[in-house]
Structures are given as C-alpha cells and as structure tokens.
Amino acid sequence: MRKIRIGTRASRLALWQAEFVAAQLRRFFPALEVEIVKVHTTGDKILDAPLAKIGGKGLFTKELELQLAAGAIDLAVHSLKDVPNALPEGFKLAAITRRAQPFDAFVSNAFPTFASLPMGSVVGTSSLRRAAQVLALRPDLVIKNLRGNVETRLRKLNAGDFDAIILAAAGLERLGYSSRINELLTQIIPAAGQGALAIETRTDDDETFSLVQSLNDAATSAAVAIEREFLAEVGGSCQIPVGVFATIDGGQVHVKALIASTDGQHVVRASEVAPLGEIDLGKKIAARLLKAGGRDILNGLA
C-alpha cells in the first residue's frame, strides 16, 4: 500500500491515539503515506447525559464504521474499552497495541488520596463501573455524572464542581497530565481492554489487515481476549457495573473480575490463576460470578 487513511474521533486524546498508530506504521513502513481523517461521533456530541442512558459504547464507534464501510477510511483507531463486544458484520479488530497504564486515576485539587476525602465529598465519573466500586469502598461519598473529554473534566474539577474526579490514567498520561494524578486506584478493577488501543478494519480488506499486524502486541491481545470473553458472557456493557483485568506473567494468566450493583452495596468478586492458553477462561470466571450472586445483581438492574 502507498497510502492509508486512519479514522478517528476528533478529541485531543483520540487524535493522540491516531497519531501514535500513524507513527508506528511509518516506523515499520517508511514509504507509506498516512492520512488522519477526523470523524465526529454521536458519543462526542451528547454530553449532558450518562453514557449508559443514551446508547452505550457503540455511540463512539458507529460513525467510524460507516466511514469504513464506505471506503472513506481504511482503519479506525479506538480505545479498546470503548469498543462494543460484538462488532457489526463486516468488521474485525485487526490489532491490539501494547497496553499502557490500565488503572483508574484519582484526581483532586484539595485531597491527596482517595482515603483522605471527607465524608460527603462529591466525586465525578461517567462510569457505572467506577461509581459502583467507589461506593462499595466509600458509601459516604456522593457520585455525580461527569462527561466530556479529559480537558473538560479537569476544567470542571478546577471550577469546584467536584471534590475529586476519577478517569483512566492512560488518557491523562498520553496527554501530558501525569502530574495531575494523585493516586492510581489499583483497588478498582478496570474496564475490559482499558489502556489498550484497538485497530478496526473491514473483514474483506486483507491488505490493511496484514499491514497493521506489525502493531499487534501478542501478550496484550491474549489478556484482553479473556477480558472481552468474560464481558460477552455476562452481557457486559457500559450499562452494567462490571470490571475485569487479566495479566500474563510467564506462562500464567492472572485474572480478577467483579459484578456490582450500581449503589455498590452488592458486589461479587472472583480471581483466578491459570495456564496461558486455557480454553474459555473468561467464560469460566463469568460463570462463577453469575452463580455466586452476579446473576441476581444483573437481574436487579434490568
């Protein structure tokens, strides 16, 4: 290929991610011409309602897939945690990049740590997963919805709308805001795929698929495949509070997962260490959690 067109959302973080993929492609293929095409998605336009109430993750990918289908772009770059578990027919995840920081970040101007927040403090997040786990740890806190790009969220914190906010550490680090991270919340289980980038292509475009294979990280791909398998089994989306995180150490896979009620009062957890390559590991952990009370929690959310 002489030229490739990368589709991306128009936010600063999404453009950083697209530029990162473009730079990697140029490194492997110096003669390749790379063009970045900005696409405005529904999820970026509707910012006054919780994502879970307006349609979920597909709001960030649908318009990009329409451009892919039309041939206006050759690939789309996403934050993997924003990609629905089931892709529409005709599309596939061709590559997953090496995972960056997977955990959520605690950010506050007045309080150095999550534990130091006074009773009744207002915490901003757009994620049911984060909100449920925060309330499970600190039921005395008040959760308020916070949407928008990274800069918007930081601006609302600086304006005094919140005592603290919680967002993905990877996004802050990628945009040069590492100094704003007070604490990594390793006690909160991340979203499936958090910290990794996904490259989506058409299933009939073998040339682009072959090209982006140079960007695929095998260890990250294996880990997030387990996470997304778990998510598929529990019916996970941004509309239910679930978390799952897999890491690979040598020949072992370490997985921890959670299903919670939105108020954090009911939480079931599971962890597993298994040989790398164990069949249906994500499904097995999901089945354990559902049997241990997760199904009752999910039924209560319906």
Which value, in Å, is the radius of gyration of the alpha carbons in the chain? 19
> Which position among 44, 48, 74, 82 bears the catalytic label?
82
Are 220 and 237 contacting, i.e. CB atoms less than 8 angstroms apart?
Answer: no
Are 142 and 74 contacting, i.e. CB atoms less than 8 angstroms apart?
Answer: no
Cα distance between residue 84 and residue 64, in whole Å: 13
For residue 223, give Cα distances in angstroms to 36, 192, 271. 29, 9, 14
**Catalytic annotation present for 82:** yes
Cα distance between residue 25 and residue 27, in whole Å: 5
Cβ neighbourhood burial of 46 (10 Å; 0-12, 13-18, 19+):
middle
Strand partners, 257: 244, 270
Are 79 and 203 contacting, i.e. CB atoms less than 8 angstroms apart?
Answer: no
Q: Is 21 left (phi over 0), alpha (psi -120 to 50) or beta?
A: alpha
Cα distance between residue 280 and residue 137, in whole Å: 31
Tell which residue, 78, 38, 36, has the closest CA to residue 61. 78
Structure tokens belonging to residue 273: 């260490």
Q: Describe the strand order of the beta sheet including 197-202 as a list of residue ranges.
A: 33-38, 3-8, 75-79, 197-202, 91-96
Residues labelled as active-site residues: 82
